[in-house]
């Protein structure tokens, strides 16, 4: 745990774009798989820290729709890390974390889809923290998915096009019923959101940090939260 927890109001929902695993590994002369393993370990530590300090919602960008373009062995290694994480979650039910997965599940293997469904069902009543794992996720794809869902409701006579407002659209997204992220963090030195929660992040505070994800610590999270707390959030008002 960090020695100095952030003072002031915590963000209700933090999003993190986990980035820099490959560069972390290459700088150490290691295979990219070693970087992904180190990044997965960092995720576990940061998720636990968020729960300890009282952050209610955490969303992490684990695997994008574009990541399928990577070499097949790297993709399979990432999926094996997911399997390991899910197995660990089944062993640590006392941590009271609710798991939700954001993204299109169709391309995932049968065993992973089954593990995801089990993890969501078994953790559904947990209340300490909701952890969203964006897996095979793309923000534009999510918006198209929501638009199609609303269109189907209109065709079925359940909804009039004139009844589609921001609230109705938000209710068709993967994060339906959750607060929008207040803070989005991207380590690794890159300064873009890369198709991560574009609808939900409309008013999020963005913090970019020059640290590779495997080296990201609770102290870095504290600094990002402190920066968030120092900003004036007016949402278009005065």
The answer to the question of whether 205 is labelled as a binding residue is yes
Find the catalytic residue in 41, 67, 87, 195.
67
Rg (CA), the chain: 18
The answer to the question of whether 15 is labelled as a binding residue is no
The answer to the question of whether 199 is labelled as a binding residue is no
Distance CA 40, CA 49 (A): 14
Whether residue 63 contacts residue 80, with contact meaning beta carbons closer than 8 Å, is answered with no
Whether residue 133 contacts residue 60, with contact meaning beta carbons closer than 8 Å, is answered with yes
CA–chain centroid gap for 161, Å, is 31
What's the token pair of residue 129?
Answer: 């923290």
The answer to the question of whether 217 is labelled as a binding residue is no
3 is catalytic: no
Distance CA 37, CA 24 (A): 11
The answer to the question of whether 65 is labelled as a binding residue is yes
Q: Where are the beta strands (DSSP E) in the chain?
A: 13-17, 57-64, 97-102, 129-137, 183-186, 205-208
96 is catalytic: no
The answer to the question of whether 13 is labelled as a binding residue is no
| Burial degree of 154 (CB within 10 A; 0-12, 13-18, 19+) | middle
The answer to the question of whether 23 is labelled as a binding residue is yes
Find the catalytic residue in 19, 180, 182, 222.
19
The answer to the question of whether 70 is labelled as a binding residue is yes
Distance CA 205, CA 219 (A): 18
The answer to the question of whether 157 is labelled as a binding residue is no
The answer to the question of whether 193 is labelled as a binding residue is yes
The answer to the question of whether 20 is labelled as a binding residue is yes
Annotated binding site for substrate: 20-24, 32, 36, 64-66, 68, 70, 186, 192-194
Residues annotated within a binding site for Mg(2+): 19, 205
Q: Residues comprising the binding site?
A: 19-24, 32, 36, 64-66, 68, 70, 186, 192-194, 205
Question: Which residues are catalytic, by number?
Answer: 19, 67
């Amino acid at each position: 745990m960090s020695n100095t927890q952030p003072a002031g109001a915590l963000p209700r929902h933090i999003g993190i774009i986990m980035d820099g695993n490959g560069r972390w590994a290459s700088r150490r002369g290691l295979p990219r798989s070693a970087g992904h393993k180190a990044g997965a370990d960092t995720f576990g530590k940061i998720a636990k820290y968020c729960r300890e300090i009282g952050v209610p919602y955490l969303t992490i960008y684990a695997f994008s729709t574009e990541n399928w373009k990577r070499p097949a062995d790297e993709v399979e290694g990432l999926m094996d890390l997911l399997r390991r994480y899910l197995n660990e979650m089944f062993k640590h039910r006392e941590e009271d974390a609710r798991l939700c997965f954001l993204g299109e599940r169709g391309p995932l293997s049968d065993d992973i889809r089954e593990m995801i469904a089990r993890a969501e069902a078994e953790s559904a009543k947990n209340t300490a923290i909701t952890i969203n794992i964006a897996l095979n996720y793309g923000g534009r794809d999510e918006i198209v998915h929501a638009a199609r869902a609303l269109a189907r409701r209109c065709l079925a006579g359940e909804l009039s096009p004139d009844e589609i407002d921001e609230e109705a659209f938000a209710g068709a997204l993967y994060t339906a019923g959750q607060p929008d992220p207040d803070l989005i963090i991207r380590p690794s030195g890159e300064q873009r959101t890369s198709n991560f929660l574009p609808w939900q992040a409309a008013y999020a505070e963005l913090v970019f940090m020059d640290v590779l994800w495997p080296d990201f610590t609770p102290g870095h999270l504290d600094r990002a939260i402190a920066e968030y707390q120092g900003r004036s959030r007016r949402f278009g008002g005065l």
